[in-house]
Structure 1
Amino acid sequence: MKRPLQALAASALLALPAAAAPAPAPVAEPTPIHLKYGVALIGLPIGTATVDGTVGAKDYKLSGTGKLTGIAGVLVDTKGAVTATGNLHDGRVVPSGFAATAGTPHYLLTIRMSEDKNAATQVEINPAYTQTPDRIPITPADKRGIIDPMSSFIMPVPGTGELLGPAACDRTLPLFDGGVRFDINLSFKRVQQVATPAYTGPVAVCGARYRPISGYRPDRPVNKFMIDNKDMEVWLAPVGTTRFVYPHHLAVMSMIGMVTIDATEAAVGAPAKAAAAH
């Protein structure tokens, strides 16, 4: 279950417009982002994650960390870290680099990917994924027109209209994590008000669907489950006063129950704003 869930969340820790989407208004000054998330399985806390970085007029830098906590952390001491950098051009996120590490004290997975013009130009995965006959091959075309999962965390909203309307959700995320090429299709459901320690105000509620393209094993039960999974949702909140939004809440049904990821702290744009809300 791990890979599709991580991709959606990281998604989670999600979402960018298609390459031809209209450009949002540029960001005048770099906007700082600091977010902390709690991860739960069927309501039981199992982990935490953080996202830090800046979004400027021409570029962005993001870094994230995550770890299992509570009973899950006792059973499996798992930690991870991810970074992404890139440029903002004509309302599009154009990644330049992605790196991730994840593992336990006895096993470490590292991924490094160079990107140029929304294409993966070089990928290093150590240890390499097992190449089985049933794994759908990744073609050169699959590595073009993509974004990495961490870069998809910041989401430009095209146009000049309502920030949290349908334009925030109605998009397809062409994601590639170095090993699997997949799409996340988002669709607008509604706008609703939320009041949490991290943020108080409106959010755009989006439905989500997972569609693997290559690098995956179609006969594995987890992949079949995720392809058919209609019980996935993400709530998008504003990044300061910019035309960007970020995932405030994610919910993904897994094969063992609902996984939720919720922002518990937020300093987005002017850091004092989040604290002033409560």
Structure 2
Amino acid sequence: MRFRRIAITIATLGSLCLSGPPAGAADGQKVTTEYGMALIGLIIGKATFDTVIDDRRFSVSGRMSSAGLGSLVSKTGGTSEVSGSLASRGFAAERYGLDYTSDGKRWTSDVRFRSGRVTSSNVSPKRSRDEKPSYVPVERSQLASVVDPLSGLMIRTRDASSVCRRTLPLYDGWSRLDLKLSPGGTRAVSLDGFKGDAAVCKVRIAPVSGYDRKSRGLKFLQSQTIELWFAPIARPDVFVPVYARIPTTIGPLTLQATSVSVK
């Protein structure tokens, strides 16, 4: 379940599709993004995210729930949010939270950051070696320079060719893992509110800590390649995800932005 949750956390990167306001949106306006999730081509979920950004601060809050076939086989839903300040090289998160429920089981995470360092982390349920000897605990030294799964996927650069030449050190409160990006070409993107080119990144997951060595889900994901598309929707120097394709044991899970509006 741990890396199923990580996959879903990565899936909710749809919240970042418009982490900065689209062209024409003024500081402080709310940007609402609609997102669809499908498994082997069948709709299983939907999400709505609201983003507010000004010249100093940013915040993203979203709601995700099962839909279509997904609502028939599993009752799933949750919220995810992040807030922080604007930095010269990107977005500096100060607080990240996740509240996720699936078939009656609940996972909550509240992580605080300062200058890329984790200052506190409260999660439920907690994991330890006492529960499972094969569990790899998170060390404090591994949290000195990390990003959350939401704002960490906002890449600030004016060089489109550099978007996929980096490693993202993610931490969600439970697990510490690296997303290793490499270039995979470009693709045209068109949705209600944006049309343009996206940088395609091939992504491999490299677990660092906070996982079970014997996890079959982890072993499967480590052998697979995730595909993420980044586009400069907000402004020319900010690339954010607009599409994701995540392999699962029963077929590809895809996430795609469908529309955006400014209020």
Same fold (TM over 0.5): yes
Structure-2 change in CA distance of 1:115 and 1:240 (3 Å): closer
Aligned equivalent of 2:22: none
Structure-2 change in CA distance of 1:191 and 1:100 (3 Å): same
1:150 equivalent to 2:150? Answer yes
Query: Which stretches in structure 1 are left out of the alignment for 5+ residues?
Result: 16-27, 273-278
Deviation at 1:217, TM superposition (A): 0.9
Could you report, residue by residue, the CA deviation over 1:225-268 in whole angstroms, capped at 9, with x for unpaired residues?
111112x211112233352122111001111110100111123x
Looking at structure 2, the residues matched to 4 and 229 of structure 1 have their Cα atoms a distance apart, in angstroms, of 14
Aligned equivalent of 2:69: 71
Correspondent of 2:51 among 13, 32, 53: 53
Looking at structure 2, the residues matched to 156 and 36 of structure 1 have their Cα atoms a distance apart, in angstroms, of 23
Q: Which amino acid aligns with 1:113?
A: V
Looking at structure 2, the residues matched to 86 and 143 of structure 1 have their Cα atoms a distance apart, in angstroms, of 18
Equivalent pair of 1:31/1:240 in contact (CA under 8 Å)? no
Aligned equivalent of 1:236: 230
1:171 equivalent to 2:157? Answer no
Equivalent pair of 1:7/1:13 in contact (CA under 8 Å)? no
Deviation at 1:105, TM superposition (A): 6.8
Looking at structure 2, the residues matched to 33 and 146 of structure 1 have their Cα atoms a distance apart, in angstroms, of 26
Q: Which amino acid aligns with 1:251?
A: R
SS of corresponding position for 1:147: coil
Written as runs of structure 1 = structure 2, the 5 A alignment for 1:1-278 is: 1-12=3-14, 29=27, 32-104=30-102, 106-129=104-127, 131-157=131-157, 160=158, 162=159, 165-230=160-225, 232-267=226-261, 271=262
Q: TM-score, normalised by structure 1?
A: 0.82
**Identity among equivalent pairs (%):** 26
Q: Which amino acid aligns with 2:74?
A: V
Q: Which amino acid aligns with 1:117?
A: S
Q: Which amino acid aligns with 1:172?
A: T
Deviation at 1:100, TM superposition (A): 1.1
Relative to its length, the structure with more strand (as a share) is 2
SS of corresponding position for 2:211: coil
Could you report, residue by residue, the CA deviation over 1:149-171 in whole angstroms, capped at 9, with x for unpaired residues?
122243212xx4x4xx2122222
Could you report, residue by residue, the CA deviation over 1:98-121 in whole angstroms, capped at 9, with x for unpaired residues?
111011473322211111111111
Could you report, residue by residue, the CA deviation over 1:64-83 in whole angstroms, capped at 9, with x for unpaired residues?
21111122212221111011
SS of corresponding position for 1:10: helix
Backbone CA RMSD of aligned residues: 2.4
Aligned residues: 252
